[in-house]
Structure 1
């Protein structure tokens, strides 16, 4: 029979301690990763809430308002800008802005025509416009008039 030497229990104890240290190291690493993930989630939720609520922010162009614009080419646009009671018609394209015309701003901005071919009103919400489009397309499918 072999006798247990005093070194064998010590070797087993050393192995258990080193395994426990590795386990403690992994637990610490997991806690750190979880804390970082929680911080990222808090930042993303805060950004979403701030964007959703639309916090008031200072507008640098308080005296400048874009009334409307339309594309006239791939990189060219005609833009109507209101500046202190005057409408400026600007041509914008290729890193250049040119004044095309100016005129006094009307008392109330012109509203688009009351409806287009599908019956959309100017101030309709997306849901209202979608419902009207579905009804319009359904009537076309049943042989109804456009």
Structure 2
């Protein structure tokens, strides 16, 4: 018997269906791989954020050393204030070395009621008071002449 055009068309249709099925399986696998990669990246970002927030950043050496503040001076230079057992050290950090610039007694920490009072006060009011104090315009503790 001879192949009829209808049986040839059926064979071509089955082959195209098999090729299309392979493409769908490949796309599904690619989608699953992309989703897994996205999940791993999301987990890394969440862990990084948690470490920045709760990681050991300010206390070291059994709680005897605390970084009070720091600022960038240049591309590789920083000014760092470190508190060590009630003494503030002002350090210049840069160029692979650390230099002690100044040493002074650490100021006393405010008591809890003062902190609660300042938290209830508006930022604009505190900022204006700090500007007056720094400019010598009659802020707290300074007399006017």
TM-score normalised by L of structure 2: 0.54
Q: For structure 2, which runs of at least 5 residues remain unmatched after alignment? A: 111-117, 128-145
- Please name the residue that 2:134 is paired with: none
Cα pair distance change 1:103/1:21, threshold 3 Å: same
* SS of aligned partner of 2:126: coil
- Of 14, 19, 22, 2:16 maps to 19
1:108-129 per-residue CA deviation (whole Å, 9 max, x = no partner) reads 17xxxx9xxx93636xxxxxxx
Q: 2-side partners of 1:54 and 1:68: how far apart? A: 16
- Please name the residue that 1:65 is paired with: 66
Q: For structure 1, which runs of at least 5 residues remain unmatched after alignment? A: 123-146
- Please name the residue that 2:82 is paired with: 81
Given that 2:89 and 2:104 are in contact with CA atoms closer than 8 Å, whether structure 1 keeps it comes out as yes
Greater mean alpha carbon deviation, residues 82-91 or residues 10-19: 10-19
Q: 2-side partners of 1:42 and 1:78: how far apart? A: 39
Task: Give 1:1-146 correspondences, 5 Å limit.
Answer: 5-6=2-3, 8=5, 10-47=7-44, 49-50=46-47, 51=49, 56-58=54-56, 61-62=59-60, 63=63, 64-73=65-74, 75-108=76-109, 119=124, 121=126
Given that 2:58 and 2:67 are in contact with CA atoms closer than 8 Å, whether structure 1 keeps it comes out as no
